[in-house]
Structure 1
Amino acid sequence: MTLQIPFENTYAALPERLFSRQKPTPVRSPKLIAYNAALGAELGFKETQDETELAQVFSGSVLPDGADPIAQLYAGHQFGNWNPQLGDGRAVLLGESNGYDIQLKGSGPTPFSRRGDGRAWMGPVLREYVMSEAMHALGVPTTRALAAVATGEEVFRERPLPGAVLTRVASSHIRVGTFQVLAARQDLDGLRALFEFACARHYPHVSDPAEFLQSVSKRQAELVAHWMSFGFIHGVMNTDNCTISGETIDYGPCAFMDEFHPGKVFSSIDRNGRYAYGNQPDISVWNMAQLATALLPLEDNSDSAVAQFTDVVHNMPDLIRTAWRNRFSAKLGIATPAQTDEQLISRLLSIVTDKRSDFTNTFRSLTEDTWQITELANSTEWPAWLEDWQTHLEAQPEDPKEIMSKANPIRIPRNHNVEAMIKEAVDGDYGPFFALNTALSKPFERSSEFQRYTLPPQPEETVTQTFCGT
């Protein structure tokens, strides 16, 4: 084999009850759809240009030298309901390279498949590829997409669909639910081993569970504020989809808003709006409370620990609010965010909600002084808000346009473009997939070539629901 991956297998050296050794299941006729060569270079690959070999490796049909494949165990709260065992039901971690996990998603059944087929159909694979790489280009902490491979086999959901495998890269796949499963089983030795591993990998400055909880909470606070600044809705913020590293993971029924509304929900399974856009800060705090509960057995003095952990969790809303204020102040060109900016931000969002304005294009119109041609100009509240905003900016020496141009993207992965891309790919045309990835790779740069990706959907193109794909 000419593709050489400098594997490490540190997670596989943990107690074996944290995972199941599991090889991926070979597929019939793998064909490479996309390979992220730049990411492969970052991971230290000595890579081949042979697409056949890449397809064999990243479909799971050929196990690369040095891999020690495992399916990871975790549990989780799903829509608030406890599930005592989940785990990688359709994913296999091949190992780590240059400090990053390399995982095949859709690589066949595992002991955690729960009667599932362990496969993925092409739509969710290409959606995650596009979404994760777009998020990376926007500067949001995220898992990455290394490769997408068509399997040459069908998977059966509501109907037969073409199968595919995604190769996902993450700084780790340790979740809140990974800690939860060990705490629920009263496996103190396993819990301590996982804690020490997670600290060494992500928070080497941390010495105790309270510091660990605080560090994870800070990253989650920054992450959810970052999501909201781009109008992103994760859709399934279960504790098994919440990483210790603070990366966005599991792009299932996620979506970027077109028309802004704080109650917006896209996920077909989120029937009560638990994970609506405006609920994401509260859910992030709730998830950290579940992590605190899972960490409690590690402390000798439980009463003292409860007090410390409670302080950390109760402080998190302020962390999120500060991060949110910083992000949205930048979107308005404010160089030095202050608590008083919150009223200005909230007034604008109220106008945008009332006028059903496009979230991304509204902020870009403010950046480029083209707001006159948007719905904002027709709002009775608009003149007063505009005057207050401009007065605020005149008082600062920094150039607001420079700040805004880095905070307000021109292009995002709009739902109708993603769905149209998937439809074409299923029919055998990957051109729209590559075009969309290219357009989203530099989201803050104006380009006439990609003008169509800036347009909101026409009524007949509007996507109202997104789906997990499992």
Structure 2
Amino acid sequence: MPIAFDNSYARLPERFHALTPPTPVPEPRLVRLNGALADELGLDRDWLASPEGISVLAGNAVAPGSTPIATAYAGHQFGNFVPQLGDGRAILLGEVLDRSGVRRDIQLKGAGRTRFSRGGDGRAALGPVMREYIVSEAMAALGIKTTRALAFVLTGAAVMRDAPLPGAILTRVAASHIRIGTFQFFAARQDVEALRLLADHVIARHYPQAAAAAKPYLALLEAVIAAQADLVVRWLLVGFIHGVMNTDNASIAGETIDYGPCAFLDAYDPETVFSAIDAGGRYAYGNQPGIVLWNLTRLAEAVLPLLATETDAAVALAQAALGAFGPRYQAAYDAGIARKLGLAGDSEADTGLGAELLGLLAARGADFTLSFRHLSRLHAGLAGEEPLRAALGHDPALDGWLARWRERSAGTTRDAMLTVNPAFIPRNHRIEAAIAAAQEHDDFAPFEELLAVLARPFDEQAAFADYEDPPQPHERVRRTFCGT
């Protein structure tokens, strides 16, 4: 069998999903297959690249064992509740057990209309597919929990957005596609039976340790809170901005999911927003921890009927669980900043040094990624002070900070900082240049080169040193778009 599917979510009751075969496309063309990920999943990369495999990746054929479904969910979008959303342009082909025995979803994104399309065409354009491929694989290389990109194909058909664009389909791999909004879907319908079935499924699939707890559903809520707290810290430490942190884009498995108008910081500013649809800055870089807690509060509201028979008791349990978010987040963030500075992170002095450096970066509009990388090279003896001083505009305030930092970091391993402060991130102008080359000239060489560089974010890659550089003024990308 080319793909050994075992589709547990499709075995849940019909109200969880809609059976939805993909809509065929006229001229499928495989642009990229992630061979290393195929191997990890136990899939035959040669079969996937064959005409038969491409037909499955394009949605022109359904592989044996696949049960293609569109899943149902609701969600708060920019704070406004929508009781029915669902997979409007994504079709879950099924699940596989990877070589480690971990269950993974395989989904086609852009595979045609579903019951949940709400008037949309169910298709994806080349640009958003390339952006998701690039950024999700970069996040994986950075060690951040994320969905992955297995392949993408061109469809041979145009999609209409502001103008006709080449159509494409992304094959996405995830621990699961269950979201906070999936729980909200059933809570909005007061379907406690479905909530319980969903919670039991999530416990079995993602948090089996919760099954042994005295209160399994409370343990599940606590586990998701911990996973989301840890995830948002990892985002902040590399300057990532999700851009559309709606509850339907919040993975119960604690993975980064749904790369729409996402971006990475260039100049450090906590108020940075790239998303064209985030006019009020709700999902700005520095707002992300608060939004994660807001989203988790909506999850807690949804599962209240599972926590206790009495509402007051359920609310008290939920509030106590949510109360753990702040301390966990802060401890993880402080520890992460300390690692970025090569410090032990065991004193208020270390925390103060981190806050002071970030203040200097903000005041000078210094590049977030490069500033930390320059500091890492200084600590490792690979460079002197000048690159860092230049990045901060030769701010005299750096003198005192460096003296205190040297005192605190003197005993730490010289190359430790190089393993946590990347040299290479998927900068917006590089992504846009790769998309433009593909759309305008059918040239995927910049895309391939960018992927190769981003696969080794912590390495010194002298031949590609220019990929470290922030954009020149004429290269700046100030707005990113969802692409739906």
Q: What TM-score bracket applies, with the shorter chain setting the length?
A: over 0.9
Determine if the alignment matches structure 1 residue 408 to structure 2 residue 421: yes
Matched AA of 1:102: I
Query: What is the SS of the residue equivalent to 2:245?
Result: coil
Check conservation: 1:265, 1:275, Cα contact below 8 A. yes
Q: CA deviation at 1:379?
A: 1.5
Give the residue type in structure 2 aligned to 1:384: G
Does residue 392 in structure 1 map to residue 391 in structure 2? Answer: no
Q: Work out whether residues 26 and 61 of structure 1, in 8 Å CA contact, stay in contact via their aligned partners in 2.
A: yes
Question: How far has the Cα of 1:54 moved from its partner?
Answer: 3.0
- Report the counterpart of residue 215 of structure 1 in structure 2: 223
| Pairwise CA distance, 1:451 | 1.3
CA distance in 2 between counterparts of 1:336 and 1:162 reads 49
Deviation at 1:340, TM superposition (A): 4.2
Q: Which of 439, 447, 450 lines up with 1:426 in the alignment? A: 439
After the TM superposition, which residues 64-463 of structure 1 pair with which residues of structure 2 at under 5 Å, given as runs? 64-98=63-97, 99-207=103-211, 208-298=216-306, 299-369=308-378, 370-373=384-387, 374-376=390-392, 378-394=394-410, 397-399=411-413, 401-427=414-440, 428-463=442-477
Change over 3 Å in CA distance of 1:56–1:332 after alignment to 2: same
Letter in 1 for 2:405: W
- What is the CA–CA distance in structure 2 between the aligned matches of 1:454 and 1:221, rounded to whole Å? 29
Whether contact under 8 Å (2:147, 2:174) holds in the other structure is yes
**Structure 1 residues 53, 290: CA separation in 2 closer, same or farther (over 3 Å shift)?**
same
CA distance in 2, matches of 1:120, 1:164: 6
Which deviates the most, 355-364 or 3-12? 3-12
Q: Alpha-carbon deviations, 1:369-413, whole Å to 9, x = none?
A: 24423232621321111111111113xx331x3221111001000
* Residue identity opposite 1:385 in structure 2: W
- 5+ residue gaps in structure 1? none
User: Aligned to 1:22, which of 20, 23, 28?
Assistant: 20
Q: Distance in 2 between matches of 1:199 and 1:340?
A: 40
Per-residue CA shift, 1:226-281, capped at 9, x if unaligned?
00000000000100000010000000000001111010000000000000000000
Whether the 8 Å contact between 1:31 and 1:52 is mirrored in structure 2 is: no
Q: 1:468 corresponds to which residue? A: 482
Query: Following TM superposition, by how much is the alpha carbon of 1:45 offset from its aligned partner in structure 2, in angstroms?
Result: 1.4
User: 2:87, 2:114 within 8 Å by CA — same for their partners in 1?
Assistant: yes
Question: Displacement, 1:342?
Answer: 2.1
| Range moving further from structure 2, 308-317 or 20-29 | 308-317
Tell me what 1:31 maps to: 29
Deviates most, 436-445 or 334-343: 334-343
Who is 2:381 aligned against?
Answer: none
Return the offset for 1:308: 1.4
Match of 2:301, SS?
Answer: helix
The CA distance in 1 between the partners of 2:80 and 2:345, in whole Å, is 41
> 298-307 vs 76-85, which deviates more?
298-307
- In structure 2, C-alpha distance between the alignment counterparts of 1:111 and 1:371, rounded to whole Å: 59
Distance (whole Å) between structure 2 residues aligned to residue 390 and residue 441 of structure 1 = 31
The gaps in structure 2 that reach 5 residues or longer are 98-102, 379-383
Secondary structure class of the residue paired with 1:205: helix
Per the TM alignment, residue 319 of structure 1 is displaced from its structure 2 partner at its CA by 1.2
The amino acid that maps onto 1:418 is I
Equivalent residues, number:
465
3-state SS, counterpart of residue 368 of structure 1: helix
Pair 1:100–1:303, CA change in 2 (3 A): same
Separation (CA, whole Å) in 2 of partners of 1:176 and 1:340: 38
Aligned to 2:7: 9
Is the contact between residue 305 and residue 314 of structure 2 (CA under 8 Å) also seen in structure 1?
no
C-alpha separation in 2, matches of 1:8 and 1:139: 27
| Identical counterparts, % of pairs | 49
User: Equivalent residue of 2:173, what SS?
Assistant: strand
Distance in 2, matches of 1:51 and 1:433, equals 22
